[in-house]
Amino acid sequence: MKKDFDKKLNNSLKSFGFLFPENEKQLESFLKEIQNIEIPENIKNCSEDFSFKREELTKFIFKDEGNLAVNYLAQAARKGGNIPQNILKKMEKDRDNI
């Protein structure tokens, strides 16, 4: 029963946007879930040129509270490329919070 539950849960997660879908049925539900998500202007309709550069998160700092690391800073190492303003602001905010 537990395995069946896990499978049904997994199918639900892939259908309702918690994980990427893997089959047609999941895709159908997934697309309904995401259809109203807002797209930033700089992403919408490819208004900026694609950089053809791989992006990576390279820095990760923990700030522990007891046994649980609940805060962190990630700084994306992007050599040029198109970094959306909202992401830059978020990164600055994260840095200030450390």
Q: Of residues 8, 41, 63, 85, which one binds another protein by CB under 8 A? A: 8
Contact between 69 and another protein per CB under 8 A: yes
Least CB distance from residue 89 to another protein, whole Å? Answer: 9
Total residues binding another protein (CB under 8 A): 62
Question: Which residues fall within 8 angstroms of residue 94, CB to CB, at 6 or more apart?
Answer: 72, 73, 74
Q: What is the four-CA torsion angle of 69, 85, 35, 27, rounded to 10 degrees?
A: -60
Q: Of residues 90, 92, 95, 97, which one binds another protein by CB under 8 A? A: 90
Contact between 34 and another protein per CB under 8 A: yes
Handedness of CA 43, 46, 49, 50 (dihedral sign): positive
Contact between 51 and another protein per CB under 8 A: yes
State the residue for tokens 């550069």: 53
Quote the tokens at residue 33: 């879930």
Tell me the backbone φ, ψ of residue 39, rounded to 5 degrees. Answer: -115, 125
Q: Which spans of this chain sit near another protein (rule: CB under 8 A)?
A: 1, 3-13, 15-25, 27, 29-31, 33-35, 37, 39, 43-46, 50-58, 60, 62, 64, 67-70, 72, 74, 76, 81, 83-84, 86-87, 90-91
